[in-house]
Structure 1
Amino acid sequence: MTTPAESTPVKAAPGSVARVAIDSPLPQLDHLFDYSIPPELAETAVPGVRVMVPFRSAGRLNRGYIVDVAAKAEGFDGTLSALDSVVSPVPVLTQELWSLARRLADRAAGSATDILRLAIPPRQVRVEKAWLAEQAATTQNGAESSSKTDATDLTSQPNPTPLPGITDYPESLAEALDARGRVALAAIPTVTDIGGAWVGRWAVTVAELSARVLAGGASVIVALPDYRDQDQLYAALERVIPPEQLTRVDARQSNAERYRSFLDCLTAEPRVIVGNRSAVYAPAANLGLLVVWDDGDPLHSEPLSPYVHARDAALVRQEESGAALVFAGHTRSADVQRLVEIGWVTAVAPTRVYTPRVMLTANSDTTEAGAVAARIPSMAWRQAREALATGPVLVQVSRPGYAPVIACARCSQAARCTACSGPLGIPRAGALPACTLCGAIASNWACDHCEATKLRLVTRGTGRTAEELGRAFPGVRVVVSDGERQVVGVSGSPALVVATRGAEPVADGGYAAVLLLDGDRMLAAESLRIAEDCLRWWSNAAALSAPGAPVVLTGVSGTLATALATWNQPAFASAELADRRVLRFPPAVRVASVTGEDAAVRDAVEAVTALVPADVLGPVPTEDGVRTILRLDFGKAPAAARELRAAVVKNATKRRKPPAGKAVYRQAPTLKVRFDDPEILS
């Protein structure tokens, strides 16, 4: 029988009080408000439902959620305003979700309702009515079948189909799942056939873990960066889990589909929930396992306030629910490495060591005619030529487009638009240079440094690389996969597959060779995590190769190249973490940026530093005023978050007099606080 989770709501007696979280972006409203429950709403005004409540004057109504029902208001003896209406009878806000949202918001100096806005999809009336009708029918049918089988010996029921075991890992992995522990899982870098489809071996591993937990009567949540990873995992899950126990919560779904999936997650039936970063907030009955795949991917970083990373949300939810937690990936982020080194997470590797065949070469090694035509090192060209006799070859490049960066052919100064000073690029073969920002055509461009008029290509995108490889390997099919052309999979026949990082399709049987180009250009990006990101991009591409296939990394040497060649990513993550400890960079410390008006930022920083020790960097001018960065030890960060939140609320409620002679209302400047910004030190 399928019934809503937490299906025994607390009914309100006439005259009791509902504690409501108002759905508002205003920080000063981030607390619970008490409203009386009128007798006509006593049956439906239960914790978790959406309500409309009066707020302030002029008959204005606000949306909100009932968090709790109490006998009387706390610390107030007057007459409370009454709830206006119950919008929906479905309790969409579970107690677990509210507790999670509150803890995460406090940790990030943000509002709990901002997290609820990410976790709970907008209501779709038709979808909800259809779902409620299905639940009523299912409940009735379940009661009838239960009355018929009450006297049946349950031991005579057929056993479920045996589930595949986790044979690639030591018994410590199964023990950690049973003990609801936390694991950093090293994925096996290869692809596998699951019967009509090829997926990464990691997807099979996660599917096996999910099936094992689901068989024990618990739910599973898996958060993945994008739809490519979700498609692979879903295909693997369909082989071992009934479709009615699979739910997808994906940003690519329509609003109606997403809301229907959310409602299904509210039922008491255990299920496997697959989605992007917001999946970590999905309601799940008896949550037994949380999996975050490739937590270093920037798509796991939430761009909306309060900017909580999926990894941090999973860690807090694991504490709240007592579920097992698995961080899986081909590489290990410095954040997870810190958790491993402090003993909070246990590292688990496969019992059998599998290392892709990585080869290193320099970009200057271009001597053969074919290599010159393709503009790649001779070793890479030879490996590609030999591999094309048996299967597809993956070529990873740094940028999409044709020639995204061009420069003066004489002095090498970057070419800029004369209209807006934006960078110039060539969008396609034979096209004139154009600004990548405003789109202006640079038909009569001249260098403002040396007045030369000729341009040269600095960076070759997927289009230009495909064109050059097509000339170097005549007669070979060329496939391009990037942000504009989305290719999920290719056959095992010979072909050149040119893809940007993260957009590599899965090849049937794996790639016969993998060429990792533009390594030096990728490393040139200004980011604290660029070395970590590059290792992750290259490792994920190498994991798509067939067993024994060459993986050629061009233009990179040193410890980073060695970590890839020896497939010892944890050692590199440990070295990165050690360097950041010396420099006091994340994740060795927590970082908070405070942006706004100079006086407001100064007051907020002084309030924090008077309470806890912190390194203060800045202020520096920004478009929104000034920005100051605070570096805090983990143990001191909660107190700092409380002070910063208080400063945000104080700033939001501060009224300023309008300029002389102007009676118009001016909104107070906004004070913005962000913890753990991934690009704050870029």
Structure 2
Amino acid sequence: MGVGTASGSAAIARVVIDSPLPQLDRLFDYRIPAAFAEDCVPGVRVRVPLRSAGRIADAYVVEVAASGEYEGALSEIEDVISVVPVLAPEVWNLARRLADRAAGVASDVLRLAIPKRQVRVEKAWLAAGRPAPTPSPITPVDAPDFVSGRLAEVVSGGERVAVDAVPRLVPVDSRTDGTTHWVGHWAVTMAAAASQTLAGERSAILAVPDYRDREQLLIALEAVLPAERIVRMDAQQSNPDRYRSILSCRGGTPLVIVGNRSALYAPAARLGLIAVWDDGDGLHSEPLSPHIHTRDAALLRQEQQDCALMFVSHARSSEVQRLVELGWLGVLATERVYLPKVIPTLSQDEVGPHTAAARIPSTAWKQMRQALDHGPVLVQVARPGYAPQLACESCRASARCSACEGPLAQRSASATPACQWCGALATSWSCRLCEGTRLRLVGQGSVRTAENLGRAFPGIKVIIADGDRVVTTVGAATALVVATRGAEPIADGGYRGVLLLDGDRMLARESLRVAEDCLRWWANAIALAAPGAPTVLVGVGGRIAAALATWRLADFARDELADRRRLRFPPAVRVATITGSPEAVERSVLAVESLRGVDVLGPVENPDGLRSIVRFDYGVGAEVASAMKAEIIRTATSRRKRVPPGKGSAGALPRLKARFDDTEPFAD
């Protein structure tokens, strides 16, 4: 193992080792034995020896060279695991750039991009290695309600645009059975863009946050494209199916790749379009290190492969708004303005008959009663379950778990209260302040709201849609649909009325992004209404209610970004959080605080030691990431000091973790 020239004429393989250790995050040179000369090509999996303790590690071949710079003897590649080049050059380049931007490890990104090897799938793919039939030509379609031909110009010209989605549902006829499905207009827009891309003999990557959005997009795609040109790639697939999808993308036929975060890492050498739906959704943020957001992966890959880029949404994220104001993104809007019928209702004091328990104002009551005469009505609530919070009946203090101090909640009227953190049942609970043993319900979740509405509207079918009860579609028949945010099913033809409850509770969440999150949740629910159907927003006023009532959502994003600039909050600046042992955090802060455009908040104590927040301008991001990566490697390779016998035990090793572009750096 080393960097350099091997004796003889054997070639050298430069490999990236599949390891999360930051000190191994570079390319290593190995001599290719004559037995592997044909199979050891860029992209294949190999096994290589490490010098420490005679260990063997898995790796990917990144490139093959005739010689290197190292003058000593090189170790040989131990084995070629598979002859299939699963690591495409464009995927490696993307992983390297993303890891460097976030002070992370490239192999962590590759682990998200390439699933574990599935031998049976691979053998079947190799056995069917005959030339693929020439695909039939694609007839491009245009997006309805946009300027004719404008979408084709965006795709063919490789433009970068923020697309203001039309807030309505449209019918789509299935090619296979002729069934009519209703999907969001945004899905039809993205499908039209994909057809334009395939017609130009280039591939498209379409990324969505969750399975509900994926199903809508697949329905829209299958209506305009052959099924064999559509590849699904997401976390819900089994390992064999996901590996099969990766292999199918390695062919030469242009495809449309649909999925969640991992779809951005699909191999696509002739990439013509990247489109991301609702980039403000928290599901676009990768929970695993190095925590790459779909939006950042899309931005870097677009720059790398020079393709068209579309961020589609009803309500723009502040990050997209910043790029629009910089001129880096253009804006693609419809020919005419769509103005949903939104009725903000700030006061909840006045209620209609039989609605006190349902917390519905009289205005909303009347609108909903009238809407139920024509079809289904959507009621959006903040939380699932029966009672999202419990309190002591005697002193009204919040009820906490006796095991972990987490909040207690109740999932149904007959269920035993349980902790929302650890799940422990509160069978013998007593208040820690007054020793009371009786609990009172605080707030109403989806189940309790459905019960109250069922009593208020006798004879009306009530449907619950939340994390425990997955409902993706409902018919056009009269029904009350109670759903948590993001779990709203689609009604045939759209809802005849939409009621947005718990607005004040949603806005009370401690978060830097709470306003834009609420705007996005409510805008997506409003888009499910039928044309002209009323939407009542309960308990919310001010500029967020005005933005929804006038549907000037871009103006709200502009004002939100201006506030962030004044306060020096993201995305006006970038942010990194440093967490670890005190000495490691202190060294890291010293390494970056002298850089231009950098300021540090903290440190403060947390369960992992200390935490500091580093704010920095975009222009110095590479310097901050490089300095932070050096400190992470230094900490990871540090050793305990020797302690003489009888002088105590050796101290703990220092720890250091950095997270760049944290979505909630200032939340409690």
Query: Amino acid of the residue matched to residue 537 of structure 2?
Result: L
In structure 2, distance between residues paired with 1:99 and 1:384: 54
What CA distance in whole angstroms lies between the structure 2 residues aligned with 1:452 and 1:620?
35
Which residue of structure 1 lines up, in the alignment, with residue 78 of structure 2? 84
In the alignment, does 2:33 pair up with 1:33?
no
DSSP 3-state at the match of 1:417? coil
The amino acid across from 1:124 in the alignment is Q
- Equivalent residue for 1:9? none
148, 163, 181: which one pairs with 1:185? 163
Task: Work out whether 1:130 is the aligned partner of 2:124.
Answer: yes
Aligned residue number for residue 15 of structure 2 = 20
Deviation at 1:657, TM superposition (A): 2.8
Distance 1:508 1:334 in 2: 32
2:523 is equivalent to residue 546 of structure 1: no
Question: Would you say the 8 A contact 2:577–2:613 is kept in 1?
Answer: yes
Deviations 1:166-205 (A, max 9, x none): 3422354432222101100000111111022111111111
Paired residue for 1:6?
A: none
Quick one: distance in 1 between partners of 2:479 and 2:10? 73
Which residue is equivalent to 1:70?
A: 65
Question: Is the alpha carbon distance of 1:652 and 1:434 closer, same or farther for their aligned partners in structure 2, counting shifts above 3 Å?
Answer: closer
Does the 8 A contact of 1:14 with 1:39 survive in 2? no
Going from structure 1 to structure 2, the CA distance change for 1:373 and 1:631 (only over 3 Å counts) comes to: closer
- The reply on whether 1:114 has 2:103 as its aligned counterpart is no
Q: 1:99 aligns with which of 93, 115, 123?
A: 93
Out of 44, 53, 72, which is 2:39 matched to?
44
Select the residue among 372, 383, 389 that pairs with 1:405. Answer: 389
- Preserved CA contact (<8 Å) 1:270 1:285: no
Aligned-partner SS, 1:635: helix
Summarize deviations over 1:12-71 as a string: whole Å, max 9, x none.
x95111001000010000000000011111101111111000111443210001111111
Q: In structure 1, the residue corresponding to 2:275 is in which secondary structure?
A: strand
- Kept in 2: contact 1:375–1:468 (CA 8 A): no
Q: CA separation in 1, counterparts of 2:289 and 2:403? A: 34
**2:158 matches 1:174:** no
2 CA distance for matches of 1:291 and 1:105? 22
Residues in 2 aligned to 1:41 and 1:666: alpha-carbon distance in whole angstroms: 47
Structure-2 change in CA distance of 1:240 and 1:667 (3 Å): farther
SS state at 1:289 partner: strand
Distance 1:541 1:659, change over 3 A: farther
Q: Distance in 2 between matches of 1:612 and 1:373?
A: 57
How far apart in 1 are the matches of 2:644 and 2:207? 54
Kindly report which structure 2 residues correspond to 1:178-577, keeping only aligned pairs within 5 A, or say none.
178-195=156-173, 196-409=180-393, 411-442=395-426, 445=429, 447-449=431-433, 455-577=439-561
In 1, Cα distance between equivalents of 2:58 and 2:436 = 62
Gaps of 5+ in 1: 1-12, 146-156
Deviates more, 1:504-513 or 1:666-675: 666-675
Is the 8 Å Cα contact of residues 612 and 639 (structure 1) preserved in structure 2? Answer: no
Corresponding residue for 2:662? 677
Partner of 1:163: 140
Secondary structure of 2:593's partner? helix
Deviation at 1:323, TM superposition (A): 0.6
Looking at structure 2, the residues matched to 249 and 608 of structure 1 have their Cα atoms a distance apart, in angstroms, of: 39
Distance 1:452 1:361 in 2: 38
Q: CA RMSD in A?
A: 2.0
The one-letter code matched in structure 2 to 1:99 is: N
Q: Which amino acid aligns with 1:38?
A: P
Provide the secondary structure at the position in 2 that maps to 1:68.
Answer: strand
Q: Is the 8 A contact 2:138 2:195 kept in 1?
A: no
Aligned twin of 1:10? none
Match of 1:8 in 2: none
CA distance in 1, matches of 2:416, 2:234: 39
Same amino acid, percent of matched pairs = 58
Deviation at 1:371, TM superposition (A): 2.3
Alignment check: 8 A CA contact 1:394 1:499 kept? yes
The one-letter code of the counterpart of 1:109 is A
- Measured in 2, the distance between the counterparts of 1:15 and 1:305 equals 37
Measure, in 2, the Cα distance between the counterparts of 1:99 and 1:90: 19
**1:4 corresponds to which residue?**
none
Structure 1 match to 2:616: 632
The Cα of 1:597 is off from its aligned counterpart by 1.2
SS class of match (2:618): coil
Which range moved further: 579-588 or 667-676? 667-676
Q: Is the 8 A contact 1:447 1:453 kept in 2?
A: yes
Q: Give the structure 1 partner of residue 587 of structure 2.
A: 603
Task: Report the residue type matching 2:103 in the other structure.
Answer: A
Q: Is the 8 A contact 2:90 2:269 kept in 1?
A: no
C-alpha separation between the residues in 2 aligned to 1:388 and 1:172?
Answer: 39
Query: For the Cα contact (< 8 Å) 2:348–2:538, is it kept in 1?
Result: no
Give the counterpart letter for 2:195 in structure 1: A
Structure 2 residue aligned with 1:152: none
Query: Are the aligned partners of 2:460 and 2:478 in contact in 1 as well (CA < 8 Å)?
Result: yes
Superimposed CA distance per residue, residues 383-416 of structure 1 (whole angstroms, 9 cap, x where no aligned partner): 1111111111100000011101022456543222
The amino acid of 1:26's aligned partner reads L
Partners of 2:138 and 2:636 in 1: CA distance: 58
Distance in 1, Cα, partners of 2:44 & 2:649: 39
| Contact 1:513/1:551 (8 A) holds in 2 | yes
Q: Determine if contact 1:269/1:285 at 8 Å carries over to the other structure.
A: no
Deviations 1:633-676 (A, max 9, x none): 11011111100001101111111136555999987333101111
Contact 1:658–1:664 under 8 Å retained in 2: no
SS at match of 2:355: helix
Instruction: Decide whether the 8 Å contact of 1:462 with 1:499 is kept in 2.
Output: yes
Q: Deviations over 1:350-383 (max 9, x none)?
A: 1121111101113424332132242211111211
Q: Distance in 2 between the 1:550 and 1:659 partners?
A: 74
1:204-241 alpha-carbon deviations (Å, 9 max, x no partner):
11101100111110000001000000000001100111
C-alpha distance in structure 2 between counterparts of 1:303 and 1:404, whole Å: 25
Distance (Å, rounded) in 2 between the aligned partners of 1:177 and 1:430: 56
Which residue in 1 is equivalent to 2:176? none
Letter in 2 for 1:421: E
Q: Mean alpha-carbon deviation: is it higher for 267-276 or for 438-447?
A: 438-447
Residues paired across the two proteins, number: 652
Deviation by residue 1:129-181 (Cα, 9 ceiling, x = unmatched): 1011112x336xx6xx9xxxxxxxxxxx9x95643223422354432222101
Tell me, yes or no, if the aligned pair for 2:583 and 2:654 is still in contact at 8 Å.
Answer: no
One-letter amino acid of the counterpart of residue 30, structure 2: Y
Question: What does the per-residue CA deviation read over 1:250-289, in whole Å, with 9 as the maximum and x for residues that have no partner?
Answer: 1111000000011101111100000001111111130000
